C-alpha cells in the first residue's frame, strides 16, 4: 500500500472546530499554567474548568499538573479522580464517567492525523470513558475509542479500540531474567 507524499506546509486543519472564539481560547491558554500549579486547590481547578464550559460533576478531584487542551470539550461525572500529570488532549469531546480514576501520567488523545491525506489533515475522534473505570498510570487512550463501565486499563497500556464493560486490559509483561 502506498501513501501520498506529505506536504505539511499545505496543512489547513479543514473541518476542525475549536469550539470557542479566539479570545476564549487565548484566555484559557493564559489561565492554564495557573490551573496546573501545585498550589492551586483542587476545588479551584474544578471552578476554573466550569468557568470555561467544562461539565464537571460533584466531588471531582483534579490533581496538579493536569493538562487539558479545551475545557469546553470535557465532561466528568461525580466522584471521579484525575491524577497528577494526566494529559487530556481533547480536540474532540472527552467524556469521563462517575466514580472513575484516571491515574498519573495517563494520556487521553482525541486528536490524530490522516496518513491518507497528502496534507496530513486531522483525523480526530471523541473518547468516552464509562463509570467505575480505572485507567492506571502511564496508559494512553487514542481517539475514537470507548471504555465500558467498570473496565480496568492496566499501567502502561495502549488503548486503540473499544474496551467492553468489566474488561481488564494488561500491557505485555517481559519474562526476561526468569528461568
pLDDT of residue 8 exceeding 70, the answer is yes
pLDDT above 90 as % of the chain: 83
Pairing of strands 140-142, 158-159: parallel
Per-residue pLDDT band for 178 (boundaries 50, 70, 90) equals: low
pTM of the model: 0.93
Residues in Cβ contact with 66 at an 8 Å cutoff, skipping those fewer than 6 apart = 35, 36, 45, 82, 83, 84, 85, 86, 87, 88
- Per-residue pLDDT of 15-47, as tens digits, reads 899 999 999 999 999 999 999 999 999 999 999
Cα–Cα distance measured from residue 100 to residue 94, given in angstroms and rounded to the nearest whole number: 14
Per-residue pLDDT band for 115 (boundaries 50, 70, 90) equals: confident
Per-residue pLDDT band for 5 (boundaries 50, 70, 90) equals: confident
Amino acid at each position: 500500500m502506498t501513501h501520498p507524499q506529505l506536504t505539511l506546509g499545505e496543512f489547513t486543519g479543514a473541518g476542525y472546530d475549536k469550539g470557542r472564539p479566539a479570545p476564549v481560547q487565548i484566555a484559557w491558554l493564559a489561565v492554564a499554567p495557573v490551573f496546573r500549579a501545585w498550589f492551586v486547590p483542587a476545588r479551584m481547578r474544578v471552578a476554573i474548568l466550569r468557568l470555561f464550559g467544562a461539565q464537571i460533576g460533584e466531588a471531582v478531584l483534579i490533581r496538579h499538573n493536569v493538562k487539558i487542551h479545551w475545557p469546553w470539550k470535557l465532561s466528568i461525572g461525580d466522584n471521579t479522580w484525575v491524577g497528577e500529570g494526566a494529559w487530556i488532549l481533547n480536540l474532540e469531546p472527552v467524556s469521563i464517567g462517575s466514580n472513575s480514576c484516571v491515574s498519573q501520567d495517563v494520556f487521553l488523545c482525541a486528536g490524530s492525523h490522516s496518513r491518507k491525506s497528502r496534507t496530513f489533515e486531522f483525523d480526530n475522534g471523541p473518547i468516552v470513558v464509562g463509570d467505575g473505570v480505572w485507567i492506571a498510570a502511564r496508559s494512553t487512550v487514542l481517539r475514537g475509542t470507548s471504555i465500558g463501565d467498570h473496565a480496568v486499563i492496566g499501567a502502561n497500556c495502549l488503548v486503540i479500540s473499544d474496551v467492553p464493560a468489566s474488561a481488564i486490559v494488561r500491557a505485555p509483561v517481559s519474562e526476561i531474567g526468569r528461568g
